[in-house]
Structure 1
């Protein structure tokens, strides 16, 4: 019932994802959400985020930020990172995911998406046919509409984790 919202993977943090392994598996582009995926909501790029994007470039990845935020927020985050970005993305609509792949010159088979929300980030990536990784939100203080979605996400994640336990038990 909730399978369409289940992430392909669920990890504690963006910063523990083994990007070198993903590159070895043939992935060449990474699309990121920003708020609560890379930094706390509204924060500028911190040292860890800057180092991550430098590492991705060294590995050989193209990258793109897609955010439902307006351009000033996304531009401010991207100032010292200097990657592709799409603002006002209307996630979970597929349009911005497809545009991100065009900017990175990748396709559905070699692109991965990383985000912190099931009903926008993960669902949009799944609808587009992109591998996706859900990360735990970095910081609990969020806008009210996101707080409300988090309650529903808990229900979906309960069933996701239950399914994962059953799968591992086989």
Structure 2
């Protein structure tokens, strides 16, 4: 179960719009790191007006942002340019080095940083290994490459145990 805790997000939300960014900023967070595909947009899709406005709203709150993707630069760079964010490509998630590089790029500490992604075995595990607050969002689209579809099966098992843990915490908080 200790290993399983490395896979549990600190927070689980339906999508990026359900996260209370202002509340997190008020708690001392100053940087948001994002996965791109199936977190901010569907696989391979260019940044659209809603993505651009979303990143603008984060900057208005006071956040610095950075994109962290295992994808190639030709995918990550145009999206990052459109939303006005630095980026790390070929990040090798769940390795913590991409997260650390992003924090160094933004000149922020671990305790000031949170990460938002849709995959447990890359995004969340990597953020947790890097000591970064992790936020899991549900994938935008069910259309994914076969290796991700296979991982999603195992993610459902992790989420089952995560729900048991969070339900137990909620029950204890009521006592």
How many Å separate the matches in 2 of 1:102 and 1:52? Answer: 23
Q: Which residue of 1 aligns with 2:49?
A: 47
How many Å separate the matches in 1 of 2:65 and 2:81? Answer: 14
The CA RMSD measured in Å over matched residues stands at: 0.8
- Deviating beyond 2 angstroms after TM superposition, the runs of 4 or more aligned structure 1 residues are none
Show structure 1 runs of 5+ residues with no match. Answer: none
- Listed as ranges, the matches of 1:88-167 within 5 Å are 88-167=90-169
SS in 2 for 1:88: coil
Q: Which residue of 1 aligns with 2:20?
A: 18
- Listed as ranges, the matches of 1:24-63 within 5 Å are 24-63=26-65
TM-score (norm 2): 0.95
How many Å separate the matches in 1 of 2:118 and 2:108? Answer: 22
Show structure 2 runs of 5+ residues with no match. Answer: none
How many Å separate the matches in 1 of 2:70 and 2:82? Answer: 20
How many pairs does the alignment contain? 170
How many Å separate the matches in 2 of 1:108 and 1:70? Answer: 25
TM-score (norm 1): 0.97
Superposition deviation, residue 79 in structure 1: 2.8
